[in-house]
Amino acid sequence: MNIIRVSANSQTAAVAGVIVDSIREHKRTEIQAIGTGAVNQAVTALELATGSLMKDSIFVTCVPEFSNSSIEDREGATVKIVVDTYSPY
């Protein structure tokens, strides 16, 4: 499974493109974000990606999870969003 790391400075359109490509190739992906700005960018990119995928009849579910991580000797809460495909039919 592909892991996509998003920061507060990530460009949402670029992240959305990576999400779409990952879903098309692997059928699932994981998005990780630390901090409110990064979570905002991740959710916005996910919304854009979901709309793009639905145009091609690819439907996804999203399951948010929390975990702890350490970056540069700092502990922080990480929001992890697992994105998986499903068939509504």
Q: Is the dihedral of CA 11, 17, 20, 24 positive or negative?
A: negative
Strands (E), the chain: 2-6, 28-34, 59-71, 74-86
On the question of pLDDT at 72 being above 70, the answer is: no
On the question of pLDDT at 44 being above 90, the answer is: yes
pLDDT band at 71 (very low <50, low <70, confident <90, very high): low
- Computed over every residue of the chain, the mean pLDDT equals 91
- Specify the CATH number for 2-86; select among 1.20.20.10, 3.30.110.20, 3.30.300.20, 3.20.20.140: 3.30.110.20
Whole-number Å distance between alpha carbons of 30 and 10: 16
pTM value is: 0.89
Sheet holding 2-6, edge to edge: 2-6, 28-34, 74-86, 59-71
